[in-house]
């Protein structure tokens, strides 16, 4: 099979790396790819968000399957366009991808489908939002309605923090059109986890549950990000709780869309908060999670290409996913200023990657903020800002996986490096 992976982050690096292990693969392409992917695949200088150019590339290459990593192209209709050319695609249509593209759309769907979620209201006016917050008299979470690469959610424990978040979104237009409307929801407490399924439109297969930390700093401080760490297994949740989250939080959403003529194909994962009164869906995502897929790629003993092929072809019922082999821990290495600043004035050299990769069970995945420098024997990697690398470690147990991941992250050096030292601490083992 000829395969095209769309995207340029560590998520896409992990997907391409896993697909590349399939005996069914004959050619692997990426658009635009990154410095890690180009070591084993053909990369094409085409923006992932350019639906026309990606579609033309898929046709010109005569690929048999397209796997879309980021949510942006899906919300823009890439899957729809590929369907016109009869090219199978792992990723939902634009109508289905609205479940991530609009927080308001997702919340309205949850209400319709009776999916348990936090109390919420939508606003486009600061004063109206503040009036509601005053009525609620408690901490809130304020989210931009549109896509913000995981940076548009603000946990506000005080009224002052809420005023600042609303001003940033609705007055200062920090996220442009994506923040013209906001969702204000009650702050809930519990154990947060990523609960995901693969579906071909009919069959639903559950993926292993993963926990993660999204706040930038240790002890869950600092701004929200697209993920600073992830791990599995999640021993603190009972199987019954996970089943309830799927039955109450994911299946009703798929059924609601199907009843409206929207056939969902691909990955649907929910950020679920397991509270004392049961699971609550915080939001939906229409693709593999950043850091979650790296962790899955390291722990699932499955032909990833066959899994993706069957998802797109509607034959997922003939496939099974084994239990994860051992444990996995993934850490994000980011540049100083992240997530507020994506580009550095001057790229800085990254050292220690080879030493880190030699640790047993460790794999390094390159993210957006890394590029190749030099030529020939002098070739190297440089940090350009934002998300730089992810370190993903596998071991028989979570304690050893965490130790390997943190050891590898410590060997990688670049100016301004930031990595959380407490990832997997909530598993109750690593400190």
Q: 201-213 pLDDT, tens per residue?
A: 999 999 999 999 9
- Which tokens sit at 323? 């239990």
Question: What is the helix (H) or strand (E) element at residue 190, kind and residue range?
Answer: none
Q: Is the pLDDT of residue 230 over 60?
A: yes
What local confidence, expressed as pLDDT, does residue 143 receive?
96
- Classify 12 as helix, strand or coil: helix
Give the whole-angstrom CA distance, residue 12 versus residue 24: 19
Q: Are 335 and 385 in contact (CB under 8 A)?
A: yes
What local confidence, expressed as pLDDT, does residue 427 receive?
66
Range in 5-14, 266-275, 417-426 with the lowest mean pLDDT: 417-426
Domain 327-427 belongs to what architecture? Answer: Alpha-Beta Complex (3.90)
- Which tokens sit at 379? 């070739």
- Which tokens sit at 256? 């609601």
Residue partners of 159: CB distance under 8 A and separation at least 6: 130, 133, 134
Torsion of CA 214, 220, 223, 224, to 10 degrees: 20
The mean predicted confidence, pLDDT, of the chain is 94
Q: 120-153 pLDDT, tens per residue?
A: 999 999 999 999 999 988 999 999 999 998 788 9
Q: 355-395 pLDDT, tens per residue?
A: 999 999 999 999 998 998 877 666 789 999 999 999 999 99
Residue 411 φ then ψ, to 5°: -80, -20
Question: For the chain, which residues make up each domain, given as ranges?
Answer: 2-95, 119-186, 191-318, 327-427
Q: 62-73 pLDDT, tens per residue?
A: 999 999 999 999
CATH 3.40.605.10 matches 2-95: no
Residue 419 carries which DSSP code?
-
Token pair 């980011």 is found at 334
- Which tokens sit at 222? 């600092």
Residue 287 carries which DSSP code?
S
Range in 11-25, 66-80, 235-249, 366-380 with the lowest mean pLDDT: 366-380
Share of residues in the chain with pLDDT > 70 (%): 97
What local confidence, expressed as pLDDT, does residue 325 receive?
82
Confidence tier at 342 by pLDDT (50, 70, 90): low
Q: Is the pLDDT of residue 341 over 90?
A: no
Q: Is the pLDDT of residue 430 over 50?
A: no
Protein fold of 191-318: D-amino Acid Aminotransferase; Chain A, domain 1 (3.30.470)
- Which tokens sit at 321? 């996913």
Give the whole-angstrom CA distance, residue 419 versus residue 425: 14
Give the whole-angstrom CA distance, residue 163 versus residue 173: 14
Q: Is the pLDDT of residue 431 over 50?
A: no
What local confidence, expressed as pLDDT, does residue 151 receive?
84
Q: Rounded mean pLDDT of 308-323?
A: 93
CATH code of the domain made up of 119-186: 3.30.1490.20
């Amino acid at each position: 099979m000829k395969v095209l992976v769309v995207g340029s982050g560590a998520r896409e690096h992990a997907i391409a790396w896993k697909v590349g292990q399939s005996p069914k693969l004959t050619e692997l392409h990426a658009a635009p790819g990154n410095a890690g992917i180009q070591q084993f695949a053909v990369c094409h200088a085409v923006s992932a968000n350019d639906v026309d150019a990606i579609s033309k590339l898929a046709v010109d290459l005569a690929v048999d399957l397209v796997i879309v990593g980021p949510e942006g192209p899906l919300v823009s209709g890439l899957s729809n366009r590929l369907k016109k050319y009869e090219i199978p695609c792992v990723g939902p249509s634009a109508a289905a991808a609205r479940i991530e593209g609009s927080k308001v759309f997702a919340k309205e769907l949850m209400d319709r489908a009776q999916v348990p979620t936090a109390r919420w209201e939508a606003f486009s006016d600061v004063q109206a939002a503040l009036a509601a917050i005053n009525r609620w008299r408690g901490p809130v979470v304020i989210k931009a309605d549109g896509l913000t690469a995981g940076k548009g959610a603000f946990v506000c424990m005080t009224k002052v923090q809420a005023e600042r978040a609303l001003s940033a979104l609705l007055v200062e237009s920090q996220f442009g059109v994506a923040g013209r409307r906001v969702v204000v929801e009650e702050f809930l407490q519990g154990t947060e986890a990523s609960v995901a399924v693969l579906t071909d439109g009919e069959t639903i297969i559950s993926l292993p549950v993963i926990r993660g930390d999204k706040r930038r700093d240790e002890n869950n401080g600092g701004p929200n990000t697209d993920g600073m760490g992830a791990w599995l297994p999640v021993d603190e949740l009972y199987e019954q709780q996970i089943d309830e989250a799927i039955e109450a939080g994911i299946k009703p959403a798929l059924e609601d869309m199907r009843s409206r003529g929207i056939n969902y194909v691909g990955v649907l994962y929910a950020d679920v908060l397991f509270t004392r009164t049961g699971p609550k869906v915080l939001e939906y995502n229409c693709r593999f999670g950043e850091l979650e897929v790296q962790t899955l790629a390291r722990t699932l003993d499955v032909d990833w290409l066959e899994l993706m092929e069957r998802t797109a072809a509607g034959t997922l019922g003939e496939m099974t996913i084994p239990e994860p082999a051992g444990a996995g821990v993934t850490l994000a290495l980011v540049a100083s200023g992240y997530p507020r600043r994506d580009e550095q004035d001057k790229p800085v050299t990254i050292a220690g990657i080879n030493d880190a990769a030699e640790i047993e069970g460790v794999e390094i995945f390159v993210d957006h903020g890394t590029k190749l420098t030099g030529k020939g024997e002098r070739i190297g990697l440089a940090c350009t800002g934002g998300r730089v690398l992810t370190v993903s470690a596998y071991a028989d147990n979570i304690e050893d996986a965490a130790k390997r991941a943190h050891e590898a992250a410590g060997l990688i050096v670049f100016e301004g490096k930031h990595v959380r030292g407490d990832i997997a601490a909530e598993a109750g083992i690593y400190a």
